[in-house]
Structure 1
């Protein structure tokens, strides 16, 4: 089987994405038809005819699913799926790729990376997940009774650096529609408004968003994902502020960086070099604007801990 090439990193990461050894993971599925065990999808073989003994198979389930447990949390860049060749490739139409750390609903309620419109018979198709964080990769056919067959599943990504933002509390200067501040720390870099993972303030003077890390950290990096479907220029000139003061809602704390521009839908990492603070603010100072953030990720170490937080 030809291995996938290494995929170049996004701006948010310092290392190249690499093909994960999914054989080291554990797999399960909603049911079993014949010898179509879930392990066949990670056997390193893209053979796509049923008689070649390399494709999984469930029974005709309502909402059939297959799940890969990577054993550790990764930032997932791509998921490549090989469809069956000798029969019924249309069964995979409408399947969803879900990635996250929850086992609620067997993992099928985790954030969605992609919907498979179709994969031609015997073909492998790659879906871009843009660094979505998760231990579990699910493939589920929602909303109908169907067989689920996968002839290979390949995943690229890298071990997730501890994102200390996930355990924090958030607030923002105002609220537009459903764009609550918690959306920026939901572990999902989805960047289209309709995907329900971006914050949104009203149009106001000096709009801001604030993360309370609950204790003081030495902050190494702040990674911000900008909106894709509309108006990425709104974030131009925003400032990242880090410190322990709540004066001016935290916006007068020392400045880590000024965001000159982040292209639509992209993630950019800003180096803060161990700045100390409990609060991480993002503020658009000096003008009337909307503030939208599709994800904010923070790395660092608790104050007084000499060991940097590294890969899990």
Structure 2
């Protein structure tokens, strides 16, 4: 063993730290090598600390995002609950209105649209909206129309509406088609009702096309309390797409 130690000292030629293990193995490290190893150990330790700090920062970021997400989820849940509560309140109000309307019978059995305020998407010549609520079946309303390339061109989704002035339980709408011509223009007609023109619900739908002078009765699938009635031709194409019926009656 002494031989190996001496050999190590002679070979290195530098101050040497001699280590003898339990298995009689001899290792010889110079002071420089020891410092290098110490430095490597510190570098590894610093790298480990950096990695730990990095993981801590990432954990904090994730936890912060989780907190934000939980807050957003709770806020969304509150909104959903609020909307659900609002919808329930609106439903109860509508039921109360229906019951009151049925009990009071304030709307009666007469035509509720007669001589009431009305409007339409556009008009052609003298054929304005009031022609559909004047009780005269010999005139008619008419939205815009022009002759172009040999065909009559109207507008996309033309409509007509009437304000009943009070909320009533609407059950049926009767449309009297124009008598003299063009009855087939009454087609794909959607009838909606509501307490404002911005919150209308479907009453019924007429596929058509209708004939000249035909009377179209549309019963609401689910009668509702409403103040406004609207008739729209649900067609995007503009060829022959106009509203030009003679009269509209509304019944409770």
TM-score, normalisation: structure 1? 0.41
Q: 1:55 aligns with which of 114, 127, 140?
A: 140
Alpha-carbon contact 2:115-2:133 (below 8 Å) kept: no
Task: Work out which of the residue numbers 204, 228, 249 in structure 2 matches 1:114.
Answer: 204
Trace 1:72-221 onto structure 2 (pairs within 5 A).
Answer: 72-104=166-198, 110-118=200-208, 119-129=210-220, 130-144=222-236, 145=238, 146-157=241-252
Tell me the alpha carbon deviations over residues 78-103 of structure 1, each in whole angstroms, 9 at most, x when there is no partner: 10001112222121110110100132
Aligned to 2:121: 30
Aligned partner of 1:64 in structure 2 is 158
Q: 1:17 to 1:131 in 2, by over 3 A?
A: farther
Which one scores higher on RCO, CA 8 angstroms, separation ≥ 6? 2
Query: What CA RMSD, in Å, does the superposition of the two structures yield over aligned residues?
Result: 2.2
Tell me if the contact between 1:76 and 1:132 (Cα under 8 Å) persists in the aligned partners: yes
Distance (Å, rounded) in 2 between the aligned partners of 1:152 and 1:23: 9
Contact 1:63–1:143 at 8 Å: present in 2 too?
yes
Q: Secondary structure of the equivalent of 2:114?
A: helix
Is this contact kept in 1: 2:179–2:212, CA < 8 A?
yes
Larger radius of gyration: 2
Unaligned regions of 5+ residues in structure 1, if any? Answer: 1-11, 48-53, 158-312
Residue 42 (1) aligns with residue 133 (2)? yes
1:81–1:125 Cα contact (<8 Å) kept: yes
Structure with a larger share of its residues in strand: 1
Q: How many residues align?
A: 137
Distance 2:219 2:127 in 1: 27
The answer as to whether partners of 1:19 and 1:154 remain within 8 angstroms in 2 is no
Structure having the higher helix fraction is 2
Any gaps of 5 or more consecutive residues in structure 2?
1-100, 145-153
Contact 2:193 2:202 in 1 (8 A): yes
Q: 1:152 to 1:24 in 2, by over 3 A?
A: closer
Write the deviation string for residues 52-76 of structure 1: whole angstroms up to 9, x where unpaired: xx10000112110101011111111
Q: TM-score, normalised by structure 2?
A: 0.50
**How far did 1:13 drift?**
3.5
Cα distance in 2 for partners of 1:61, 1:87 equals 19
Distance 2:161 2:140 in 1: 14
Residue 15 (structure 2) aligns with: none
**Preserved CA contact (<8 Å) 1:58 1:147:** yes
Distance of 1:21 and 1:44 partners within structure 2:
12
Q: 1:17: Cα distance to partner?
A: 5.0
